[in-house]
Structure 1
């Protein structure tokens, strides 16, 4: 009597690329992408957009252990953040999709001029075990030198943030001293701006503001004021037919603050 043998189902699990820090970058079998960027006339004179693409194409092709994952290049972008760099963003998307193992680029400044953007991108790719190799600095972000770079960039990011905050406060202070006050008049009931940027009263809106204050002083609650305005089809400063109690409350609170300051 023949004995039935159960058929085994074998699932094939493909090997994943594992980053080995004991193997030099040049000897790894990796899908490598390059990022190039020029943004000023000087940069274009010293090393043109086309020259960078040609350089990295040959560099990746010349290494038998590297497989080209694409050359990403942005030309003429001078923005200090990464939002307007189409190829840069496409490259990061491909990294997150598992299409790239390592990115090579000329330098940290060429990769991202904004320290915060650079730091966030490095950490984002590091979590996916994707290396960024900066040629000028000789730094691989997945090696010990990368940890040092991240520490330095973190310090720079904090300093940049502090300087930006101080510069912003300084600028606002100087504007206030010169009598220049920035107000979002589009969401400011009762006022608009003239061609000189000066606040001027809008009579129709001023009557609405007066009505709100008068009703409140006569004993109406915020909810009652809201319902009365909606019943009379009076629109908000942004053109909406529904009044939120919080808006009325802010108007009343702001008025109290102004009165206390001027007294």
Structure 2
């Protein structure tokens, strides 16, 4: 995430790239910490219609300009007539991407493939299949479950095994 301010001809510009912390930026906007916000495209600022309108309201009240580097919005040049259209398009695109990602994960899961980003502790992922690791981590998992089933409290087990797990991860 890029998020930096640079002085430019008596104005300050906030450059926000990728997924900004909207709450922080919205608060900075309310405090008039910058004059211009540069984003790659409106979707990098907000993919939710209500949020994008809330941000626009803050910008207008504080006289903060919005410039999208794809030339879709530039309030410095009074080019913001399509703000609502772009906000709606990016929200729809976000919803469609989410739906496609979920569908892809569901299909892979139905095919027996692992769809998570990191395999659970004690497992490895090879060609989409979860396999038990060839090290001491599966034995740690087995001991934790065994002791839990024997009645040990989860909080105590966590304390006992946390250090051994971290030591293995650092190897």
Runs of 4+ in 1 over 6 A off after TM superposition: 136-139
Aligned partners of 2:130 and 2:101: how far apart in 1?
23
Q: Shift of the alpha carbon at 1:128?
A: 3.0
Q: Which residue of 2 aligns with 1:179?
A: 112
The question of whether the paired residues in 2 share the 8 Å contact of 1:189 and 1:237 is answered with: no
Q: Which residue of 2 aligns with 1:199?
A: 130
SS in 1 for 2:165: coil
The equivalent position to 2:155 in structure 1, one of 207, 215, 223, is 223
The question of 1:210 aligning with 2:142 is answered yes
Aligned partners of 2:129 and 2:82: how far apart in 1?
49
Q: Which residue of 2 aligns with 1:155?
A: 88
Aligned partners of 1:124 and 1:227: how far apart in 2?
47
The question of whether the paired residues in 2 share the 8 Å contact of 1:126 and 1:141 is answered with: no
Aligned partners of 2:66 and 2:59: how far apart in 1?
8
TM-score by length of 1: 0.38
Q: Name which one, 1 or 2, has greater alpha-carbon Rg.
A: 1
Q: Shift of the alpha carbon at 1:154?
A: 2.8
The question of 1:117 aligning with 2:45 is answered yes
Going from structure 1 to structure 2, the CA distance change for 1:150 and 1:165 (only over 3 Å counts) comes to same
Deviations 1:157-204 (A, max 9, x none): 32122212212122212322333222312xx2211234x453221241
Going from structure 1 to structure 2, the CA distance change for 1:204 and 1:113 (only over 3 Å counts) comes to same
Q: Shift of the alpha carbon at 1:229?
A: 3.4
The question of whether the paired residues in 1 share the 8 Å contact of 2:112 and 2:129 is answered with: no
Which stretch shifts more, 172-181 or 120-129? 120-129
Q: Shift of the alpha carbon at 1:222?
A: 1.8
Q: Alignment length, in residue pairs?
A: 138
Going from structure 1 to structure 2, the CA distance change for 1:138 and 1:216 (only over 3 Å counts) comes to closer
